[in-house]
Chain A
């Protein structure tokens, strides 16, 4: 299961399959494994638990 989550403030999306290279988050990293106080890399207003899922697929994480 692969989650895509979105910041409710600015619309930044985190795709678990892709991670976030600029933030040093490796592909395949589950959102929930990031620290609780991990702030949105785009707006810094919202933190991890504020993010909302926008897609929930069975696609395995890319290697």
Chain B
């Protein structure tokens, strides 16, 4: 009887999060509601409600709703991966995010607003763009032509199409090593990291794509260049917006795009902070393990971000779909969801206070397993009394 019960559990697995993933469609609608609230209420303060919801409401919801550490049974994963319902949610999010971006730029460009209302709308729209990069991340890892094209399309509005190459073929190869511009180091602030991450990502993407095109005997400046493909979509969209709305739209497009892309920088900063893969031989590193990524099982932000926060499993199995990603018992855990930690990392002393002790605990106090900011290694080893191993010096 017990055996039957177990078999029934596996064969009739019901995904409790199945409909919760629709939250990922709701969040951009909430973010885009600022202008609507302003028109309905006539109160300029109303445009701040979506921003407050994201930066205060979501971390609070994460605290209240808590964490979910359950995993689908492995036997149910093939069925879960094949279920097209989950894909349709990601497909549906593409037009939602595009419309939200265009509508926000239109509203900003055509309404005379005080600076604080403009700021709120730019932040909201940038956050929506950040959701677009998150969606592009999920889609870009898949092997179907449709999903890979949708990834390029959704990365285009904020001019971050190179992420499609950079992340899959650069970051996933080099993650948690000193050569990765998208892995942050212990003692490095977000404001230092952004100047390493943004240009470093573009350089690495271009280098990888140039190499591939070289092997294919194709010119770099061709339509086969998978960085130029989304860049052309960007240029077309921006040109249409400028012809339609005039030059007044340009600063909004640029600032919104920067804020959207900075959301990715924030994610990169917190996902691997201080964690280090061991170098087996010069230039060759151990495989990326669950203990090389920071995770969060907080349910609400996971629904909003397609399980991005189950990051260890994502790096171990990048092609696994969001609905199948698993919690690992020994994987490093963050005290709140990514959106809550975004706020924390923008306040470096608070970030170091919250995270350095967690990092040290996760590496058992072993300095050789920590990815230090150059120049801060000795100071941090002394400050925390870290173990440097036999023969090593602090």
Spell out A's residues near B (CB within 8 Å): 9-10, 12, 21-25, 37, 39, 41-46
Question: B173 and A10: CB pair below 8 A?
Answer: no
Chain B: residues with Cβ within 8 Å of the partner, total of: 21
Chain A residues in 8 Å Cβ range of B169: 39, 41, 44
Q: How far is the CA of A15 from the CA of B394 in the complex (A)?
A: 50
Ordered by A's residue number, 27 sampled pairs between the chains whose C-beta atoms are within 8 Å are A9-B317, A9-B319, A10-B318, A10-B319, A12-B143, A22-B216, A23-B216, A24-B212, A24-B213, A24-B214, A24-B216, A24-B217, A25-B215, A37-B284, A41-B169, A42-B143, A42-B319, A43-B317, A43-B318, A43-B319, A44-B169, A44-B173, A44-B318, A45-B172, A45-B288, A45-B317, A45-B318
Name which residue of chain A comes closest to B288, CB basis.
A45
Residues 212-259 of B contacting A (Cβ, < 8 Å): 212-218
Question: B283 and A37: CB pair below 8 A?
Answer: yes
Name which residue of chain A comes closest to B319, CB basis.
A10
Chain B residues in 8 Å Cβ range of A39: 169, 173
Name which residue of chain B comes closest to A9, CB basis.
B317
Chain B residues in 8 Å Cβ range of A45: 172, 287-288, 315-318
Name which residue of chain B comes closest to A10, CB basis.
B319
> B362 interface residue, CB < 8 Å from A?
no
Question: B212 and A23: CB pair below 8 A?
Answer: yes
> B189 interface residue, CB < 8 Å from A?
no
Residues 157-172 of B contacting A (Cβ, < 8 Å): 168-169, 172
Spell out B's residues near A (CB within 8 Å): 143, 168-169, 172-173, 212-218, 283-284, 287-288, 315-319
Name which residue of chain B comes closest to A41, CB basis.
B169
Q: Chain B's nearest CB lies how many Å from the CB of A35? A: 11
Question: B172 and A44: CB pair below 8 A?
Answer: yes
Chain A residues in 8 Å Cβ range of B218: 24
Q: How far is the CA of A44 from the CA of B172 in the complex (A)?
A: 6
The residue among A10, A25, A46 with the most chain B CB atoms within 10 A of its own CB is: A10
Chain A residues in 8 Å Cβ range of B217: 24
A44: contacting residue among B168, B212, B215, CB under 8 A:
B168
Chain A residues in 8 Å Cβ range of B172: 43-45
Name which residue of chain A comes closest to B214, CB basis.
A24
Chain B residues in 8 Å Cβ range of A25: 215
Q: Chain B's nearest CB lies how many Å from the CB of A45? A: 6
Name which residue of chain A comes closest to B216, CB basis.
A24
Name which residue of chain A comes closest to B226, CB basis.
A22
Name which residue of chain A comes closest to B320, CB basis.
A10
